[in-house]
Amino acid sequence: MFNTFTTNKRKSGRPVSISKHTITKKCLDFYLLNGIDNQSFNNVIKYTGISKGSIYRLYGNEDSLQKSALVEYYKTVITKKLKEFNSKDATLKNIIIDITSGLISNRYKPCLYHRSRVVKYKLGKEVKKAIFKIDGEVKNTYKVLVKKELYKKNKKISSDEINKLVNFILNSITTINLMKLNNSSHKSILNFANTLKAIIKDI
């Protein structure tokens, strides 16, 4: 695969070299605005300003491009949040408060990862693999936090119950993101988040 593409769009007529990484970031911007599943590949290509042939030479197909964009999002956004979630003072309650307040105040935009995992059945093999890999890392982080909560309360539950709880938390946080994306009222989002916090409090 090529890693750079040369275009002659500069007004002076001198060719401009654009890296694959730069194009990937531009595609990521498009997916953040529009979602990863509900726009045609032609619209994505048009947004980049690069020819269709060049996009195919760089990525091979739409699946590979979507994967590249999601991996870029993982590197720049998700890893940073997971680092915060893995900090000594992190709690599930505080994470839910941070995500909810951030979305309501528009400090955060709905997470592309959460948006993508809901529609993964529509996506290609490579981007599905990327979503499943991120799922694994996020679940492991939540599992550590659940065990921390149990330890503080001197409680023990089975590994199967922990896994079910982790899946529930992950799916609930996905729901909070989708509620914001679908313009649910702030009250509805807060009510859902408060219910989630109450369930976690009782574990």
pLDDT in tens, 8-64: 454 444 444 678 999 999 999 999 999 999 889 999 999 999 999 999 999 999 999
pLDDT digits (tens, 9 = 90+) for 122-176: 999 999 999 999 999 999 999 999 999 999 999 999 999 999 999 999 999 999 9
| pLDDT number for residue 14 | 40
Give percent of the chain above pLDDT 70: 92
pLDDT at residue 3 in the model: 46
CATH number assigned to the domain comprising residue 152:
1.10.357.10
Check residue 17 and give its pLDDT.
Answer: 61
Q: Residue 114's pLDDT band (boundaries 50, 70, 90)?
A: very high
Please give, one letter per residue, the 3-state secondary structure of the chain: CCCEEEECCCCCCCCEEEEHHHHHHHHHHHHHHHCCCCCCHHHHHHHHCCCHHHHHHHHCCHHHHHHHHHHHHHHHHHHHHHHHHCCCCCCHHHHHHHHHHHHHCCCCCCCHHHHHHHCHHHCCHHHHHHHHHHHHHHHHHHHHHHHHHHHHCCCCCCHHHHHHHHHHHHHHHHHHHHHHHCCCCHHHHHHHHHHHHHHHHCC
Total number of domains in the chain: 1
User: Domain residues for 61?
Assistant: 4-201
